[in-house]
Amino acid sequence: MWLEGDVAAAVSLAEAAAVTRCRQGSAHCTALASLQLALLLTNLRRIDEARHAVCRAASIADDPAINAVTSLVRAKIALCEGRIDEAADLCDAGMVVTSDPRLASWASVGNMVRAVIAMRRGELAAMIHHANQLKEDVLFGRDVLFGRKTFPWDSPAWLVVQIIEAEKGWEVAVPLARGLLESDSSSRGLLLAEPTAGSFLVRILLRADDRETAERSRRCAVTLAAENPEIPAIAAAALHLEALLDRDVSLLQQAAAADCDAWTRASANEDIGDLLSEESGEFQVACAHYETAMRSYADAGSPRDSSRVRSKLRRHDTSMAAKRFWPRSRIPVLTDTEYAVAELVAGGLTNAEVAGKMFLSRHTVAFHLRKIFQKLGAKSRIELAVMWKQLVGRESLDVAGQY
């Protein structure tokens, strides 16, 4: 039922399992069924119901092993709510299940939570390590996330693609993204496992000009949302995909205003900023959405994403500042930005001081300075300062002679 997209029926069956006493087993079976239900509800962002299922599991069986699994599920809930530090602590407490062969499959939940935490924090080495752990979970049969017999609602395939994109670049991630969205069943499974993953994968496909696969994913998301109108997270995901493909700011605004988590709101606002700045040049409005995205990513415990948006915001601030304050280049071989950097450096400013005045990073200033040296034939800052007055003076005379 779940893999066919009938979410309501799947939830009903999971709820029934969570209150049915196991005839051949023990109270542990019912407790674990409640915890599986909690994972399912967490993916759908029905957090209050997920908490209730966790509490029910804890009341059914007071056992160290069950308590450890409960910590892992609570870690997943904390992650969805942006409480990253708490999620990490709960995950550490819950990973003792790896020593119990009966519960080893639950370690995949912890590995996925740890991988997301590392990715959001920008901890590349830890992120890659936990991605490898997820691959091992599949290889050695601990595949509660990929498996069809255990937890089909919690596949980490989307997360592996995100980590590969962060590690090796979006171009490397394209064939993997295409593979996840190449059929209705795989697209449906992805959106149900993590509704926010669809927009990330579609962005990659659009950058690669694979509109056909992206359109297929959009159609699947729209159908899934229509069949499950009671799930706001799926509706928001469908709106987001439609907006990306149609480049529709109003649809993105609806997705951002939907009843969803902080990370989803941040992602939609970032896309609004991108569209506004690319298509209409409305930098001030775009920057307002970037600022909202930056705050929402911070609320979601994701400094890595917040930092990316901050870089976009800085570029737009720089663009607006250039229109107001930076002089137009009076030296044909230099761009306006290079001219402004060269003038400040020739005036004796350090790279850090230039960066502060121009709202650029030091790395960007250093990059522009290398280009300036190449174009003008200068070998040092001192040589640039010496030749600068002559260059600007000669250009002034040339310009004056044209009138």
The answer to whether the beta carbons of residues 51 and 43 sit under 8 Å apart is no
How many residues appear in the chain?
403
Q: Domain 326-400 adopts which CATH fold?
A: Arc Repressor Mutant, subunit A (1.10.10)
Q: Angle at Cα 32 formed by Cα 29 and Cα 34, nearest 5°?
A: 110
Q: SS3 of 91, please? A: helix
Q: What is the band of 373 on the pLDDT scale with cuts at 50, 70, 90?
A: very high
Q: What average pLDDT does the structure give for the chain?
A: 83
pLDDT of 391 higher than 60: yes
Lowest mean pLDDT among 59-63, 81-85, 190-194: 59-63
DSSP single-letter state for residue 99:
G
Q: Which of 360, 266, 371, 262 is nearest to 319 (CA)?
A: 360
The answer to whether the beta carbons of residues 232 and 255 sit under 8 Å apart is no
Q: What is the DSSP string of 240-302?
A: HHHHHHHT-HHHHHHHHHSS--HHHHHHHHHHHHHHIIIII--HHHHHHHHHHHHHHHHHTT-
Say how far apart CA 191 and CA 240 lie, in whole Å: 12
The answer to whether the beta carbons of residues 354 and 366 sit under 8 Å apart is no
Say how far apart CA 316 and CA 321 lie, in whole Å: 8
Q: What is the DSSP string of 306-347?
A: HHHHHHHHHHHHHHHHHHHTPPPPSSTTS-HHHHHHHHHHHT
Q: Which of 51, 54, 49, 21 is nearest to 35 (CA)?
A: 54
Q: How many CA atoms lie within 13 A of 360 on its CB side?
A: 23
User: What's the pTM?
Assistant: 0.72
Question: Rounded to an integer, what is the distance from CA 394 to the centroid of its chain?
Answer: 50
**In this structure, how many other beta carbons lie within 10 angstroms of the beta carbon of residue 327?**
10
What is the per-residue pLDDT for 149? 45
**In this structure, how many other beta carbons lie within 10 angstroms of the beta carbon of residue 167?**
15
Q: What is the band of 38 on the pLDDT scale with cuts at 50, 70, 90?
A: very high
The answer to whether the beta carbons of residues 112 and 145 sit under 8 Å apart is yes
What is the per-residue pLDDT for 394? 53
Instruction: Give the CA-trace dihedral at 377, 378, 384, 386, to 10 degrees.
Output: -90
